[in-house]
Chains A and B, each alone.
Chain A
Amino acid sequence: MIGARRLVAIVGVAAAAGLAVFATWSRASRADAPARVIDGAGATLPFPLYAKWSSELLRVDGTLRINYQPLGSGAGIRQMSDGVIDFGATDEPLTDEQLKDAGRDLVHVPMTIGAVVLAYNVPGVPELKLTPDVIADVFRGTITRWDDPRLREANASVTMPSEPIKVVHRADGSGTSATLTTYLARNSEAWRADVGLGVSPRFPVGVGSRGSDGVTAYVKSTPFAIGYVELTYAKQASLPIALVRNRAGNFVAPSIESLDRAARSALDRVPDDLRISLVDSDDPGAYPLTALSFLVLPRDSRDREKGEALARFAWWGLHEGQRYAAALDYAPLPRELVAHGERVVRELRAGGEPVRVAYEGNGG
């Protein structure tokens, strides 16, 4: 009898744990939520901006609630393909294969432009210049000390300390990892062969930390550390940010201007479905680690209310939303990209019919 009770206790504990996991898992799939709440998930890079939008939009239109979970671009893509959320957000456009595998027809709307920066903590080094080869070799583990000749060569004006480099990278899947590895893979053959690119690359050295905040905290608290994060996080922690060499050979700091240059240089090659990357632009003033963040929406929403809410959110973000970008260290979209976005939003449908939203010239 005691045996049975014990067994029930064991089974109970395991079951409770199982239920908790299941509850978290299925949280995003609430089907009975009120129609004017739209659920989204994905990239962490634009999260501070989307959070601001969500509160501003609620002030303008009290019935429209945006519930956005910053789970990472990979999660946004997967949950969107599985149809458990109303919209996804990603810093990397979906690949042809991902679009084909998705359970529904998806479109991309560009929303904002952000920067992935290399933040470091090296006492006595106020300015650091990095070439793609050096970044690749630091994150690959072939450059291990701050006074390595190749680091000294690019930074002749400062005395590099004789200390080991402590590399920190993202442990969870992230669009920032994708942006960095895309840039490195394009510029370093060794990187392409050793590591490759993607949201969850296998870094041969260093420690992994969870989230941009985790990486920031590690760099902040660890002398001689270097890591990559979204610009806002490095600024808020007042960490020094490295200048990165772009395709034209200039060392450029991330700024609204250098992000804008990257975006403008890509305008003449925007495809119909808007899937472009701003990484490694050839404009001489462009910051190379520039990420264009997209909303991923269903072309045809099953639910009319949701379809209208999504169109309204995207439209508002393309217009009024851009005003909040600069204060949070994002570059506002160039007018041409906004126009591309408008075209896609106007073509959104719900239940097979065009979505009825009052598209005023300036959003409304």
Chain B
Amino acid sequence: MTPSALPSSSREAPRALRITDAARGSGDRVFGAVGAVAAGFLGLVLVTVAVCVVHLAWPSIRETGLSFFGTSAWDPARDVYGALAFVWGTAMTSVVALCLAVPIGLGVAVFLTDLGPRPLRRPVSSLVELLAAIPSVVYGLWAAFVVAPLLRSSIEPALAAIGGPLFRGPPMGVGILCASIVLAIMVLPTIATVSRDVLAAVPSELREGALALGATSWDVVRLVVVPHARRGLFGAVLLGFGRAVGETIAVATVIGSRADVSLSLFAPGYTMSSVIANEFPSATSDLHVAALAEVGLLLFVVTVAFNVAARLLVRGERYGRALTVPAGNR
């Protein structure tokens, strides 16, 4: 229930209660119980998953300790496990993906709420949402058969001409850059739609006020709307980051699957989720399974942390501010 809805419903409550007191009482109790069971069940599943993963990972946690996070040696044939390369690869692909997706995503959001011609807003909005509906394995195939050859034959050689530590090594096609590009496209809908909602929640009084003071549309976006929605936009980016960190199949297809720490975007890498997808089905030694579970545990903690942080920020923007500011005007 929203705070603004509370006063009106509490004013009408006594009459409604008099009419259907008995029926409503039992109906409410049943419905409440069903809801509580459902909600409790979901929480239980989350806790169960966490407990199971910790249990599965325990041999590895005990065996490798902190060195698990400090070394990139991952050699199942010799039972040596270190997750640093996966953490590095996950961070690298996610950050590069965000560098590509955030400017575009924010641009789309501003277009949809403030700058775009009204007849175009709805179709563009549906198109962006459609991107989110494409299964990730399809993105993976598209990346392997279209993006990777394109990168190898033209884009990577062109970038290599610029030079620098980021563009070093032979153009392989698959690798960190390819995975980042696919991730960027996959997180774009998240960033664009959440940013759109956040921007739409900026009170129109602020926009009108700025316009009345002689600001252009661009000034309004730049000086009023975006600064006002700052926190929510940051949340949108964090949500996109959470999505990028957890993405599996599309990344596993084009990441190149090498447990190495390299600064070059051309180099093949590995992410936490793709190593689990690749190796878990065929892991034979108990320690290998446990090490993969520990990688999973790390991924679980990181994604939950990012999602909670992002949702707290976005919530503050969408409901808190949007409702408190106009409350004084009404």
Compute how far the CA of A1 lies from the CA of B174 in the bound complex, rounded to whole angstroms: 47
List residues of chain B with CB within 8 A of the CB of A195.
77
Interface residues in B182-235 (C-beta closer than 8 Å to A): none
Query: Which chain A residues border B1 with CB–CB below 8 Å?
Result: 1-2
What residue of chain B has the Cβ atom nearest to residue A76's Cβ?
Answer: B282
Alpha-carbon distance A71/B278, docked complex (angstroms): 10
Question: Is B283 an interface residue when CB atoms closer than 8 A count as contact?
Answer: yes
In the complex, B68 has a CB within 8 A of chain A: no
Q: How many A-B residue pairs have CB under 8 A?
A: 128
CB distance from A269 to the nearest CB of B (A): 26
User: A190-230 interface mask toward B, CB cutoff 8 Å, 1 = contact, 0 = none?
Assistant: 00000111111110001111100010011001100000000
Q: Which residue of B lies closest to A15 (CB)?
A: B45
Chain A residue nearest to B2 (CB atoms) is A2
B152 interfacial by beta-carbon distance below 8 Å: yes
Contact of B148 among A15, A19, A221 (CB under 8 A): A221
Q: A158 contacts the other chain (Cβ, under 8 Å)? A: no
Interface positions of B from 260 to 296, Cβ below 8 Å from A:
268, 278-279, 281-284, 288
A173 touches B279 (CB 8 A): yes
Cβ distance A4 to chain B, nearest Cβ, rounded Å: 8
Q: Is the CB of B281 within 8 A of A172?
A: yes
- With beta carbons under 8 angstroms apart, the residue of A10, A21, A72, A222 that contacts B282 is A72
- Given contacts A11-B43, A195-B77, whether A207 and B268 have CB atoms under 8 Å apart is yes
Contact A14 B46 (CB under 8 A): yes
Q: From A42, which residue of chain B is reached at the shortest CB distance?
A: B282
Provide the bound-state CA to CA distance between A308 and B49, in Å.
Answer: 38
Does A134 interact with chain B (Cβ within 8 Å)? no
**B321: A residues at CB distance < 8 A:** none
User: Which residues of the other chain, B, contact A210 by a CB distance below 8 angstroms?
Assistant: 252-253, 257, 278
What is the interface size of chain B, counting residues whose CB is below 8 A from a CB of the partner? 44
Q: Are A14's CB and B76's CB within 8 A?
A: no
Within the complex, what minimum Cβ distance (angstroms) separates A310 from chain B? 23
Which partner residue on chain B sits nearest A178 by CB separation? Answer: B77
- B144 interface residue (CB < 8 Å to A): yes
Does chain B have a CB within 8 A of A74? yes
B39 and A8 contact, CB distance less than 8 A: yes
Q: Using Cβ atoms and an 8 Å threshold, which residues of chain A touch B256?
A: 207-208
Q: Measured between alpha carbons, how far is A206 from B144 in the docked complex, in Å?
A: 16
C-alpha spacing A149/B307, complex, angstroms: 55
What band does the interface of chain A fall in when counting residues whose beta carbon is under 8 Å from B?
35 or more
Distance (Å) between the CB of B201 and the closest chain A CB? 14
Please report the C-alpha to C-alpha distance between residue A113 and residue B289 in the assembled complex, in whole angstroms.
30
Which residues of chain B are within 8 angstroms of A164 by Cβ–Cβ distance?
170
Beta-carbon contact of A200 and B282 below 8 Å: yes
Contact of B2 with A217 in the complex, beta carbons under 8 Å: no
Among A8, A14, A174, find the residue whose CB has the most chain B CB atoms closer than 10 A: A14
Asked whether any CB of chain A lies closer than 8 Å to the CB of B34, the reply is no
Does A166 interact with chain B (Cβ within 8 Å)?
yes
User: Closest Cβ of chain A: how far from B29's Cβ, in Å?
Assistant: 18
Residues in chain B near residue A181, CB distance under 8 A? 77
Do A200 and B253 touch across chains, with their CB atoms under 8 A apart?
A: no
The residues in B between 18 and 45 inclusive whose CB is less than 8 angstroms from any CB of A are: 39, 42-43, 45
Within 8 A of A (CB), among B132-172: 144-145, 148-149, 152, 170, 172
Complex alpha-carbon distance, A174 and B2, angstroms? 56
Q: How far is the CA of A97 from the CA of B252 in the complex (A)?
A: 32
CA distance A201 to B258 in the complex (A): 11
Distance between A251 CB and nearest chain B CB, rounded to angstroms: 28
Contacts of A291 in B (CB 8 A): none
Q: How near does chain B come to A309, taking the closest CB pair, in angstroms?
A: 25
Q: Is the CB of B46 within 8 A of A74?
A: no
Binary per-residue interface labels of chain B (278-320) against chain A in the complex, 1 for a CB within 8 Å, 0 otherwise: 1101111000100000000000000010011001000100010
> Is B152 within 8 A of A222, CB to CB?
yes
A166 touches B39 (CB 8 A): no
Given A10-B308, A166-B172, decide whether A78 and B283 contact each other with a Cβ distance below 8 A. Answer: yes
Say whether B149 contacts A221, CB under 8 Å.
yes
Residues of chain A within 8 A of B92, CB atoms compared: none
B300 to chain A minimum Cβ distance, whole angstroms, is 8
> Which residues of A are found within 8 Å of B174, using beta-carbon distances?
207, 209, 218
Cβ of B39 and Cβ of A208 under 8 Å apart?
A: no
Cβ B259 vs Cβ A217 within 8 A: no
List the A side residues contacting B48 at CB < 8 Å. Answer: 18
- B228-261 with Cβ < 8 A to chain A: 252-253, 256-259
Is B78 interfacial (CB 8 A cutoff)? yes
CA distance A118 to B279 in the complex (A): 23
Bound complex: CA A135 to CA B35 (Å): 63
Interface residues of A, Cβ cutoff 8 Å to B: 1-3, 6, 8, 10-15, 18-19, 21-22, 71-75, 77-78, 98, 164, 166, 171-174, 181, 195-202, 206-210, 214, 217-218, 221-222
Give 13 A-B contacts (CB < 8 Å), ordered by A residue: A11-B46, A15-B42, A18-B45, A21-B49, A71-B282, A173-B282, A181-B77, A198-B76, A200-B76, A201-B75, A202-B75, A207-B268, A221-B173
Going nearest first, the 4 A-B pairs with the smallest beta carbon separation are: A208-B257, A173-B282, A74-B282, A171-B257
